[in-house]
Amino acid sequence: MKKTLKNVSEPNLIRDTFSYRHVPAFRLDAPPAEQALPEDFWITDTTFRDGQQSRVPYTKEEIVELYKLMNRLGGKCGLIRQSEFFLYSENDRKAVEACQELGFQFPEITAWIRAVRKDFELVKAMQLKETGILTSCSDYHIFLKLRKNRRQALDGYKDVVSAALEQGIVPRCHLEDVTRADIEGFVIPMINELDELGKSAGINVKFRLCDTMGYGLPYEKVPVPRGIPSMLTMIRHETDVASSQLEWHGHNDFHHVSANGVCAWLYGCASVNSTFLGYGERTGNPPLEGMVIQWLSLAGHREDGPDTTAITDMADFYRKMNSHIPANYPFVGEDFNTTRAGVHADGLNKNEEIYNIFDTETLLKRPCKVAVSNTSGLAGIAYWVQSKYPSAIGMRKDSPGIIEIKNWIDDEYASGRTTTISDDEMFALTRKYLPELFAETDK
C-alpha cells in the first residue's frame, strides 16, 4: 500500500537534528540499506545554471567553448548525458542556440524554470525536450518560504508538471532541500503522485534529489532525511520509479559532496549532477572532473569512455578567464601532483608509481613534478634535473653537481629565504653546476 501525504498543520523542522544553534547532529540507528548500483549510470551537468550562480556570468563564447570541452570529456559513450541552461536572458538563449548549432548528441541541452506555467513557453520556443522545475519539498521551504501547507504545495507542483506533460516536455522535478524533508510523510507521496501523472501521459517524470544545504551523509546507518543510503532504499521500496528517473544534486557545505555523489550511484541513482571545478551556490556542487574520475573508478576503462585530457584543457581555459584555481586542487591545480618532500622525490626517482596517484602524464597531460625547496634534499634536486633534461636520466643524487646545487639552496634558506626555488633559478643552477648536460648544445 502506497504511503499517503501527511498534511500537517505545523512545519516539522526536525529540531532533534537541525537545532540551528549547533552543528547538525546525526545518528547511526537506521535499518540496513541496500546497494543498487544501476547497470547504466552517468553524469549530468549544471555548470551554466547552478555553476553560474557563484561566479561572473559566462559570455556566449565561453559557454560554447566549455560545452565543447564537456562533449569531448564525456567521450563517445556520452558519459556527460545532459547539461542544464538558464533561459531568462538574451545571452542565455543565444548561448543555447549556439550550442544547439554544434549538433552534439551529448550533452543534451535541458532547461531550468520556476514552477509557473508561463515559463514553459521559453522551453518550447527553444525546442528543448526536458526542463527542470523547482519543487521544494522540506517544511522549511513549504511553510516558511512558500507560506503553504504540504497539500497546497504538491497540488501546485502537479499543476505545473501537468503543463509540461501537455506540451510533451519531460519534467525534471527538483526536490529542493530533500535532506531536511519528511521523506515518509511528504517526499514519497509526492514522488508517487507526480510519477502517476507522468505514467498516465506516457512520459517518465524525473526526480532530482537536491541536497541543497549539503546535509546529506553517505553512511549506511544514518536515518532519513540525512542518510543517502536510507533515503534511496526507501524511495526504491516505496515508489515505482526506475533508477533512470533519479538524479542526485549535492552541495559541499560539509565536505561530503563527492562522496555523496558516489553514494547516490551506489544506492540507486542513475545520474549525479555536477559542475566544472565544483562551481555552484555557496560551497558548490560535485566537481564534474572529479565525478568523471570517480565514474572511471567504478565503471573501469572503456574505449568509448571519457577523454580525461579534456580536464586539463578545461582548467587552462578557466585560467584564461582569470578564474583562480588553488594550486593543490585535485587533478587540475598547478601543484596537484608536485612533491616538495625529499623522501617522496627519492621514491619518484626510483619509480614514479610510488608517489603519483596514476599515470597523470597520459591521462591528464600532467607529468608529476618536484618543487625544489629546503626540504627537497639531493633526491628532489636530482628528480627536477632529470625531469627537465633527458640526458640526466640515471644521474645519481650524490653527483658533485647535484651536491653543489644543494649547497647553494641551503645557503639561501640559511640566509632567511622562505620561498621555493623557481624553475628559472634551477635552470641557471643546472647550467652552472652541471655543464656536461649542455656540452653538445654549446659546441
Helix, strand, coil abundance in the chain, percent, nearest 5: 45, 10, 45
Cβ 73 vs Cβ 292: under 8 Å: yes
Return the pLDDT at 25. 94
How many of the other CB atoms lie within 10 Å of CB of 422? Answer: 11
Is residue 293 in a domain?
yes
Cβ 69 vs Cβ 48: under 8 Å: no
Q: Are residues 61 and 193 in the same domain?
A: yes
Q: Are residues 199 and 123 in the same domain?
A: yes
Q: Are residues 218 and 284 in the same domain?
A: yes
Q: Are residues 104 and 241 in the same domain?
A: yes
Crossing angle of helices 288-299 and 309-320, rounded to 10°: 180
**Number of domains composing the chain:** 2
Q: Are residues 346 and 310 in the same domain?
A: no
Q: Are residues 310 and 352 in the same domain?
A: no
| Tens of each residue's pLDDT in the chain, 443 residues | 788 999 999 999 999 999 999 999 999 999 999 999 999 999 999 999 999 988 999 999 999 999 999 999 999 999 999 999 999 999 999 999 999 999 999 999 999 988 788 888 899 999 999 999 999 999 999 999 999 999 999 999 999 999 999 999 999 999 999 999 999 999 999 999 999 999 999 999 999 999 999 999 999 999 999 999 999 999 999 999 999 999 999 999 999 999 999 999 999 999 999 999 999 999 999 999 999 999 999 999 999 999 999 999 999 999 999 999 999 999 999 889 887 665 566 666 667 888 888 999 999 999 888 778 888 888 888 888 988 888 888 888 889 999 999 999 999 889 998 888 888 898 999 999 999 988 765 55
Domain interval for residue 283: 42-320
Q: Are residues 355 and 407 in the same domain?
A: yes
Cβ 142 vs Cβ 149: under 8 Å: yes
DSSP annotation of 140 reads: I
Cβ 357 vs Cβ 364: under 8 Å: no
Residue at a domain's end among 320, 349, 384: 320
* Closest to 82 measured CA to CA, from 109, 48, 111, 112: 109
Is residue 327 in a domain?
no
Residue at a domain's end among 256, 288, 320: 320
* Closest to 37 measured CA to CA, from 206, 236, 179, 203: 236
Is residue 18 in a domain?
no
Beta strands in 72-116, from DSSP E residues, in sequence order: 80-85, 108-113
Is residue 258 in a domain?
yes
Q: Are residues 253 and 390 in the same domain?
A: no
Cβ 225 vs Cβ 231: under 8 Å: yes
Strand partners, 274: 45
Q: Are residues 220 and 357 in the same domain?
A: no
Residue 292 identity: V
Q: Are residues 151 and 291 in the same domain?
A: yes
Return the pLDDT at 345. 60
Residue at a domain's end among 258, 285, 320: 320
CATH of the domain at 220: 3.20.20.70
Q: Are residues 375 and 281 in the same domain?
A: no
Return the pLDDT at 352. 80
Report d(CA 287, CA 261) in Å as an integer: 10
Is residue 36 in a domain?
no
- For residue 334, what is its C-alpha cell? 598547478
Is residue 4 in a domain?
no
Is residue 10 in a domain?
no
Burial 102-135 (b: 16+ CB within 10 A, else e): eebebbbbbbbbebeeebbebbeebebebbbbbb
Is residue 6 in a domain?
no
Integer angstrom CA distances of residue 426 from 278, 318, 336, 378, 414: 35, 28, 20, 13, 18
Q: Are residues 203 and 343 in the same domain?
A: no
CA angle 375, 379, 385 (to 5 degrees): 105
